[in-house]
Amino acid sequence: MTQAQDNLYRTAGDQFAPALARLARTMERDAEKARDLEQDIHCELWRSFARFDGRCSLKTWTYRVAHNVAADHVNSAANRPRPIPLDEVEALPAADDAECQAAANHAIARVQELIRRLASLDAQVILLWLEGQSGAEIAEVTGLSVNAAQVRIHRVKALLASAFAEPMKEGPTP
């Protein structure tokens, strides 16, 4: 444990803690498991700063570590539904208890549910984009080319737009 490691962690926490919390809540629907995931992200982030050499920005390092922990969490969870390739997603699932939620919360819950069903890399790309990262920054975090990152952003945004353009289905039709 070094002072430099502690300082880097504090700086990253000050700048990125809200984004890390949103990542955990989006990747894990159960509130308790989301808090556990967030804690795991913070633990691994702190440990990772012992290896941080400054070859990338603090933001890139933080997002890369956080998204890797989240991807590992999603991939190892036995109770997760099988990820659906982006091309096969037909409709955005309904949020639980939508009548009791405000319209904004309802929309966020629907988007989070769709993101949970995406393949891990697609989910990482759109979450980074939703956090305001550019295509180049997303490429640096994920290891994709800039063009590949931008194509994935476009495809997921189109999927989200089409899901919100169609009326939500409320169960099987007679």
Closest of 137, 161, 163, 132 to residue 149, by C-alpha: 137
Q: Based on the domain organization, do 142 and 97 belong to the same domain?
A: yes
Q: Based on the domain organization, do 23 and 61 belong to the same domain?
A: yes
Q: What is the 3-state secondary structure (H, E, C) of 129-164?
A: HHCCCCHHHHHHHHCCCHHHHHHHHHHHHHHHHHHH
Q: Based on the domain organization, do 110 and 128 belong to the same domain?
A: yes
Q: What's the confidence (pLDDT) of residue 58? A: 93
Number of domains making up the chain: 2
Residue that finishes a domain, picked among 26, 54, 80: 80
Only one residue has tokens 């997603």, namely: 89
Q: Based on the domain organization, do 43 and 69 belong to the same domain?
A: yes
160, two tokens: 């989200």
Establish if 173 belongs to a structural domain: no
Q: What's the confidence (pLDDT) of residue 4? A: 85
Q: What's the confidence (pLDDT) of residue 108? A: 79
pLDDT digits (tens, 9 = 90+) for 59-69: 999 999 999 99
Q: Residue 52 above 70 pLDDT?
A: yes
Establish if 172 belongs to a structural domain: no
pLDDT digits (tens, 9 = 90+) for 101-116: 466 777 778 888 888 8
7: CATH: 1.10.1740.10
161: CATH: 1.10.10.10
Establish if 174 belongs to a structural domain: no
Look at 52 and 2; give whichever has higher pLDDT: 52
Q: Based on the domain organization, do 56 and 16 belong to the same domain?
A: yes
Average pLDDT, integer, range 147-161: 90
Q: Based on the domain organization, do 47 and 96 belong to the same domain?
A: no
58 within 8 A of 12, measured Cβ to Cβ: yes
Closest of 23, 26, 20 to residue 62, by C-alpha: 20
Q: Based on the domain organization, do 76 and 99 belong to the same domain?
A: no
Contacts of residue 140, defined as CB under 8 A and 6 or more positions apart, other chains included, come to 56, 60
Question: What is the C-alpha separation between 58 and 50, in angstroms, rounded?
Answer: 13
Look at 89 and 114; give whichever has higher pLDDT: 114
Domain that holds residue 4: 1-80
Q: What's the confidence (pLDDT) of residue 174? A: 39
Q: Based on the domain organization, do 18 and 61 belong to the same domain?
A: yes
Q: Based on the domain organization, do 1 and 57 belong to the same domain?
A: yes
Residue that finishes a domain, picked among 35, 59, 80: 80
Q: Based on the domain organization, do 58 and 94 belong to the same domain?
A: no
Question: What is the C-alpha separation between 89 and 67, in angstroms, rounded?
Answer: 22
pLDDT digits (tens, 9 = 90+) for 29-45: 888 989 999 999 999 99
Q: Based on the domain organization, do 14 and 56 belong to the same domain?
A: yes
Establish if 8 belongs to a structural domain: yes
% of residues, the chain, pLDDT over 90: 37
CB-based burial of residue 61 (10 Å sphere; 0-12 exposed, 13-18 middle, 19+ buried)?
A: buried
Q: Based on the domain organization, do 92 and 144 belong to the same domain?
A: yes
- Can you give the pTM of this predicted structure? 0.60
Mean pLDDT, all residues of the chain: 81
Closest of 16, 44, 39, 30 to residue 127, by C-alpha: 16
